[in-house]
Amino acid sequence: MPHPALIAQDAQFRKSVIELAPGLWTAVGYAASNVHMIEGRDSVTIIDTTESTAAAENILAAFREITSKPVARLIYTHSHRDHVSGAAVFAAGRALPILASARFQSDLVDVDDARIAPNRALGRRTQAQFGIGLSPRERISLGCGPGNRPMQGLGAGFLPPTELVEADCEIDLDGVPARLIMAPGETADHMMVWLPGPKVLFSGDNWYHAFPNLYAIRGTPYRDFAAWADSLGLMAGLNARVLAPGHTLPVLGPEKVQEVLGTTRQAILHVMRVTAEGMDRGLSLDDIAATITLPDDLADKPWLGEYYGKLAWSARAFAAGTLGWYDGNPTHLGTLSGAARAERMARLAGGVQALWTAARGGDALPGDDQNGDDLQWRLELCDHLIALGEPAATLKAETMEALAETEINATARNTYLWEARRLREAEDAK
């Protein structure tokens, strides 16, 4: 049974088209990300275009029940593919203006260039994070969006920007005054859309109803924690009445908007401060990651639940992003191979059979947490056994499946289940 809190998070992306203010709508729950529509005098503006052509078609059909005015322009808040991959549907074969930050760099471009990233690894980890191929029962959520959604045409409708915006500027959206604001956060190319009249802010992924994904386990360059915190402060300074994020439900009311932005900023600063203090004291990253928590006045905020981002991953990312991989412990200047370490572990334990006994739970002590640390320990022992050529893949898969059921974090759950399936399929193919 999935973690109850993760199931409850599903309320944040039940399918609906929500009116934010007269002439302004957001489509939530149709896909991993939201799509927004601004109605002008004779046309509409679309902000973000979602992840697939099938989802974009569904959203466009829902918008057409509101207005038949043609789409005049598209705006990308940032370059992540779940925000740019339905553009062709909204453009409908016309050469529309497509606005984006001058720092726009889509991960749909040059994906086969080995100089940019190890793309097979990135592709596998992306599929694991988002549970691609898992059943709807397994992939119950993405943490910030629904797990069960149309996937046809995934990534297929991307159109490159036609107008790159260098700096904050005023723009007329067919009679609707707007301001484009550069605000790096989850990506360096974030560009928000601010409507000063109704005081509505379209923030992209700089905020959503989950602890921010300061590090994506699919693999990502360092996300600048300080810049993200600064952008949240900038957003709070606008005093918006409505916050329309790129994922999850909009936030309504100026007091609530201030609260969610302020506490999320505090949470990022807390991760930075605790990690830095731990490194200054000479603590290992394992110890920092294993013990970091939010203070009580933040831990009870529903929008800071670790459904998408995770504190432990964030601490590791901040340490590596600011000081690099070396953690200050000279032991880690060298390394043993996995097999060499496993051989020594088996010798220390009294042989390979002793490792098997421990991995199967034979060394459990009274009071051991069978749903947490003990399962993590079993995973690590399975890795030692596999490195020694032992048939521990099925036990590792079972352990990951058990861990998945305890996880509040959707991306961790999806990854455990996806990698477990991959191990089982490999075993079946032998």
Q: Give 105-133 pLDDT, tens digit per residue.
A: 876 555 445 555 567 888 899 999 999 99
pLDDT digits (tens, 9 = 90+) for 86-99: 999 999 999 999 99
pLDDT digits (tens, 9 = 90+) for 29-76: 999 999 999 999 999 999 999 999 999 999 999 999 999 999 999 999
Of 165, 177, 35, which Cα lies nearest the Cα of 104?
A: 165
Q: Is pLDDT of 400 > 60?
A: yes
pTM metric for this prediction: 0.93
Q: Average the pLDDT over 290-298 and give the result.
A: 97
Please tell me the predicted confidence (pLDDT) of residue 109: 55
Share of the chain above pLDDT 70, in %: 94
* Residue 378 amino acid letter: R
Alpha-carbon dihedral of residues 90, 92, 95, 97, nearest 10 degrees? -10
Contact between 214 and 321 (Cβ < 8 Å):
no
Tokens of 48: 């973000």
Please tell me the predicted confidence (pLDDT) of residue 116: 54
Mean pLDDT of the chain: 93
Q: What is the DSSP letter of 365?
A: P
Q: Which domains does the chain have, with CATH numbers?
A: 4-266 (3.60.15.30), 335-428 (1.25.40.880)
Q: Average the pLDDT over 400-408 and give the result.
A: 95
Q: Is pLDDT of 419 > 50?
A: yes
Distance CA 430, CA 148 (A): 32
Q: Is residue 328 helix, strand or coil?
A: coil
Angle at 239 between CA 145 and CA 178, to 5 degrees: 75
What φ, ψ does residue 178 adopt, rounded to 5°? -140, 165
Q: Average the pLDDT over 402-422 and give the result.
A: 96
Q: Is pLDDT of 282 > 80?
A: yes
**In which region does residue 133 sit, left (phi positive, over 0), alpha (psi from -120 to 50) or beta (all else)?**
left
pLDDT digits (tens, 9 = 90+) for 173-212: 999 999 999 999 999 999 999 999 999 999 999 999 999 9
pLDDT band for position 408 (50/70/90)?
very high
Q: Average the pLDDT over 320-349 and give the result.
A: 94
Distance CA 151, CA 418 (A): 17
Please tell me the predicted confidence (pLDDT) of residue 366: 42
Please tell me the predicted confidence (pLDDT) of residue 108: 59
Q: Is pLDDT of 220 > 90?
A: no
Please tell me the predicted confidence (pLDDT) of residue 365: 42
Share of the chain above pLDDT 90, in %: 89
Q: How many helical (H) and strand (E) elements, i.e. helices and strands, does the chain have?
A: 15, 13
pLDDT band for position 367 (50/70/90)?
very low
CB atoms within 10 A of CB 402: 17
Longest distance between any two alpha carbons in the chain, whole Å: 78
pLDDT digits (tens, 9 = 90+) for 147-178: 999 999 998 999 999 999 999 999 999 999 99
Please tell me the predicted confidence (pLDDT) of residue 362: 59
Distance CA 150, CA 341 (A): 45
List all residues 6 or more positions away from 128 whose beta carbon is below 8 Å from its beta carbon.
218, 414, 415, 418, 419
